[in-house]
């Protein structure tokens, strides 16, 4: 136990010496930061509050768009299915996990209205026919004018 105390005292002594200032003393005074005086004439701008904001009567805060999906493909005589989905953020591929409409087509026609939450999204449509070797028909729609209603025509 006695050797443990000696080792601990030696370690503490090394730490105190190693962490010391060790520099030369200077006769120059140390500069301290002075708080700005109240009479300097510089004032920070008054922050804008939400209650101070004004919008014109014509401004619509809604981010929703009514989209009419209008399909007219009379050449589709066999049973088919329509998927209308957002595109994947980093590619032009359809994101089947994020669809706005999934429906069976009757005689290749459909007219359906859906509500989109964001107006400037790209939608991709795939039409699958019940055939073992068929590739889907693909269509793209993007709302570029930011209107409250739009139409996605699939012809």
Asked if residue 43 belongs to a domain, the reply is: no
Task: Indicate the pLDDT class of residue 29, thresholds 50, 70 and 90.
Answer: low
Say how many domains are in the chain: 1
Of 101, 151, 91, 150, nearest to 126 (Cα)? 101
Give the C-alpha separation, 88 to 124, whole Å: 10
Compute CA 59 distance to the chain's CA centroid, rounded to the nearest angstrom. Answer: 24
Asked if residue 48 belongs to a domain, the reply is: no
Asked if residue 50 belongs to a domain, the reply is: no
Convert the pLDDT of each residue in 67-122 to its tens digit. 999 999 999 888 899 999 998 878 889 999 999 999 999 889 999 999 988 756 78
Asked if residue 81 belongs to a domain, the reply is: yes
Asked if residue 119 belongs to a domain, the reply is: yes
Asked if residue 18 belongs to a domain, the reply is: no
Convert the pLDDT of each residue in 114-153 to its tens digit. 998 875 678 999 999 987 677 899 999 987 665 667 899 9
Give residue for tokens 């005689």: 107
Asked if residue 124 belongs to a domain, the reply is: yes
Convert the pLDDT of each residue in 11-22 to its tens digit. 656 666 555 555
CATH number at residue 141: 2.60.40
**Could you tell me whether strands 65-72 and 149-154 are parallel, antiparallel, or unpaired per DSSP bridges?**
parallel
Of 62, 87, 71, 70, nearest to 147 (Cα)? 62
Asked if residue 129 belongs to a domain, the reply is: yes
Q: Which domain holds residue 73?
A: 65-154
50 CB burial (10 A radius; 0-12, 13-18, 19+): exposed
**Per-residue pLDDT for 30 more than 80?**
no
For the entire predicted model, the pTM comes to: 0.59
Contacts of 25 (CB under 8 A, 6+ apart): none
Looking at residue 112, what is its pLDDT?
A: 96
């Amino acid at each position: 136990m006695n050797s443990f105390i000696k080792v601990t005292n030696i370690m503490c002594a090394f730490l105190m010496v190693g962490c010391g200032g060790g520099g030369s003393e200077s006769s120059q005074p140390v500069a301290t930061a002075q708080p700005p005086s109240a009479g300097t004439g510089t004032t920070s701008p008054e922050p804008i509050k939400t209650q101070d904001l004004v919008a014109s009567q014509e401004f619509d805060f809604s981010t929703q768009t009514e989209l009419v999906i209008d399909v007219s493909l009379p050449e589709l005589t066999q049973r088919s299915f329509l998927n209308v989905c957002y595109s994947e953020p980093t590619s032009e591929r359809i994101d089947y996990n994020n669809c706005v409409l999934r429906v069976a087509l009757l005689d290749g026609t459909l007219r359906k209205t859906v509500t989109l939450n964001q107006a400037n999204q790209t939608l991709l449509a795939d039409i699958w026919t019940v055939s073992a070797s068929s590739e889907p028909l693909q269509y793209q729609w993007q709302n570029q004018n930011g209107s409250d209603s739009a139409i996605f025509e699939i012809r």
